[in-house]
Amino acid sequence: MTVSDGLPTEAFDHALSTVDEKAAVALVRGLLDDGVDPLSVLVDVIARGQRVVGERWQRGEWTVAKEHAATAVAISATKEVDRFADLVPVTRGRVVVACAEREWHALPAMIVGAAIRLHGWEVVLLGASTSPARLSQCLHDVGPDATAVSCSVLGAMSTTRRFIEASTTAGIPIMVGGSAFGGDDRRARALGATAWAPHAHGAVDALRDLPAVVRRVPPLPRSLMAEHSAIEINHHDLVETLRARWSATTTNGPVTEVSREVLHQALHAVSVALLTNDPRPLPETAVWIDHLLTARDADPGLSAELGVVLASTLRDYPVAHTLVQRHWTEGLVLQGEPVR
Ligand code: B12
């Protein structure tokens, strides 16, 4: 059976939304028993269902608590595929699968780990938010053939770079993926990753083509790193300044619940644009903020206003300031017209 043959995605979504762990696990078990490709179960049923969960949170329909509960169900469903994968003999090498520090989205790493295991690799899965020092220790102890890192949030991209440094310093190739990398390999290449893939299917293929040994990554461009580091060090002060200047946080409107998170995300987008020399996290984040706020009945101009406030707050960081001025509003629709 393939996706087009109609996987029971609605039934899985129902199990997630009603937090019915038994139903979700039984559904996955049934698919596996019926001979459905387990990789398709992971990607087209479980990961797809989780993205729907995220959209519900983004639209303000679900609380973070509900998101957590649904994720626990998806984790149980993934473990069912894991049990199936454990029956596959280990015929290839060993892979350490991890989330960088500050990355709490553990499920994408679990899903990729299960996909790799299904293809005969031995998988050592580290949990969410692992420190670079702990990763180095693990690489030393386990001696894997490859490292795989999952990064869903922009705030964990700089620690992902430190993972890349740790892995390549040990000569071990490192594959990266996750939504923070966007839809192509530009950010992954800029950070020095050996390979990138957009989904679990691609992860399996990319792993097969990795070199046996790699060189240590060269340092990132100094000009961009100086500003990036200064912004990271001053992150909390900058958030406070933005909070004092942006009207969404100075009034007690319906968006207060998410507005603080939004400020962190905006600054993370600036950091990643500097770190990877890719400006796209800025318009992507501006649009994400716009959707988040307008779903909560906020003034549609608030994301554009944040761009202005952000640019002025970052006036002492010339590259960041210019990036925000040029790119923040690229994807926003202002007064009915897309901004060009
Ligand atoms: C569940 C969830 C959480 C849970 C995580 C619990 C857990 N144990 O995992 C909790 C509640 C902790 C959480 C917290 C937050 N979350 Co959250 N979360 C999600 C959600 C709904 C699902 C994540 C998931 O499991 N996805 C399923 C995976 C499998 O899909 P995927 O990422 O597409 O993965 C595929 C590929 O990317 C690729 N891949 C992934 N990793 C790797 C690795 C390698 C090596 C390779 C090759 C490929 C690869 O293969 C996968 C399978 O095909 C997403 C929505 C979404 N769109 O994913 C939001 C989402 C990621 N979260 C978001 C946000 C904002 C947050 C918070 C900041 C605020 C909040 N909502 O609480 C915090 C930040 C925490 C942190 N610092 O990490 C945003 C991020 C938006 C952005 N612009 O960055 C999203 C997109 C929601 C949204 N629509 O706004 N979250």
Nearest CA to 266 out of 301, 231, 316 is that of 231
Judged against a pLDDT cut of 70, whether residue 186 lies above it is answered with yes
Confidence band (pLDDT; 50, 70, 90) for 57?
A: confident
DSSP label of 177: E
Confidence band (pLDDT; 50, 70, 90) for 258?
A: confident
> Of 187, 218, 249, which one is at a domain's C-terminal end?
218
Q: The domain containing residue 25 runs over which residues? A: 1-86
Reading the block at residue 146, the tokens are 């490859």
DSSP label of 313: H
Q: How far is CA 169 from CA 151, 177, 297, in A?
A: 20, 20, 49
Does one domain contain both 235 and 318? yes
Q: How far is CA 172 from CA 128, 163, 206, 235, 278, in A?
A: 21, 11, 15, 32, 26
Does one domain contain both 242 and 300? yes
> What distance in Å separates the CA atoms of residue 130 and residue 140, rounded to the nearest whole number?
15
What is the per-residue pLDDT for 1? Answer: 40
Distance 153 CA to ligand 1 centre (A): 7
Does one domain contain both 287 and 329? yes
Judged against a pLDDT cut of 50, whether residue 104 lies above it is answered with yes
One DSSP character per residue, 181-218 reads GTTSSHHHHHHT-SEE-SSHHHHHHHHHT--S--PPPP
| CA nearest ligand 1 atom 19, residue | 54
Does one domain contain both 305 and 248? yes
What is the per-residue pLDDT for 251? Answer: 67
Confidence band (pLDDT; 50, 70, 90) for 328?
A: very high
> What distance in Å separates the CA atoms of residue 320 and residue 318, rounded to the nearest whole number?
6
Does one domain contain both 185 and 244? no
| CA nearest ligand 1 atom 50, residue | 199
> What distance in Å separates the CA atoms of residue 61 and residue 128, rounded to the nearest whole number?
26
Query: To test the ligand 1 pocket, which listed residue (152, 264, 287) has its Cβ within 8 A of the most ligand atoms?
Result: 152
Chain mean position to CA 273:
15
What is the per-residue pLDDT for 252? Answer: 60
Question: What stretches of the chain show up as alpha helix (H) in DSSP?
Answer: 9-17, 21-33, 38-40, 48-58, 64-85, 106-118, 132-142, 157-169, 186-191, 200-208, 222-233, 235-245, 247-250, 256-276, 281-294, 302-313, 318-327
Q: How many Cβ atoms sit within 10 Å of the Cβ of residue 312? A: 14
Q: Tell me the mean pLDDT in the region 23-39.
A: 95
Number of domains observed in the structure of the chain: 3
> Of 194, 218, 242, which one is at a domain's C-terminal end?
218
Q: How far is CA 134 from CA 104, 126, 167, 171, 274, in A?
A: 16, 10, 12, 17, 26
Does one domain contain both 238 and 311? yes
CATH number of the CATH domain containing 78:
1.10.1240.10
Does one domain contain both 22 and 105? no
Chain mean position to CA 155:
9
Residue 219, amino acid: P
Q: Looking at ligand 1, which atom is closest to the CA of residue 196?
A: 47
> What distance in Å separates the CA atoms of residue 283 and residue 10, rounded to the nearest whole number?
32
Does one domain contain both 120 and 203? yes
Confidence band (pLDDT; 50, 70, 90) for 340?
A: very low
Confidence band (pLDDT; 50, 70, 90) for 335?
A: low
Helix (H, G, I), strand (E, B) or coil at 306: helix
CB neighbour class for 86 (10 Å; exposed up to 12, middle 13-18, buried from 19)? exposed
CATH number of the CATH domain containing 133:
3.40.50.280
CB-ligand 1 contact for 108 (6 Å cutoff):
yes
What is the per-residue pLDDT for 187? Answer: 98
Nearest CA to 272 out of 309, 306, 224, 329 is that of 224
CB distance 131 to 121 below 8 Å: no
Does one domain contain both 97 and 203? yes
Helix (H, G, I), strand (E, B) or coil at 175: strand
> What distance in Å separates the CA atoms of residue 333 and residue 299, rounded to the nearest whole number?
13
Helix (H, G, I), strand (E, B) or coil at 88: coil
> Of 51, 86, 121, which one is at a domain's C-terminal end?
86
Judged against a pLDDT cut of 70, whether residue 2 lies above it is answered with no
Does one domain contain both 21 and 59? yes
CB-ligand 1 contact for 148 (6 Å cutoff):
yes
CB distance 203 to 116 below 8 Å: yes
Does one domain contain both 48 and 128? no
Could you read off the pLDDT of 136-164 as tens digits, one per residue? 999 999 999 999 999 999 999 999 999 99
Does one domain contain both 173 and 125? yes
Helix (H, G, I), strand (E, B) or coil at 130: strand
CB-ligand 1 contact for 7 (6 Å cutoff):
no
Distance 322 CA to ligand 1 centre (A): 29
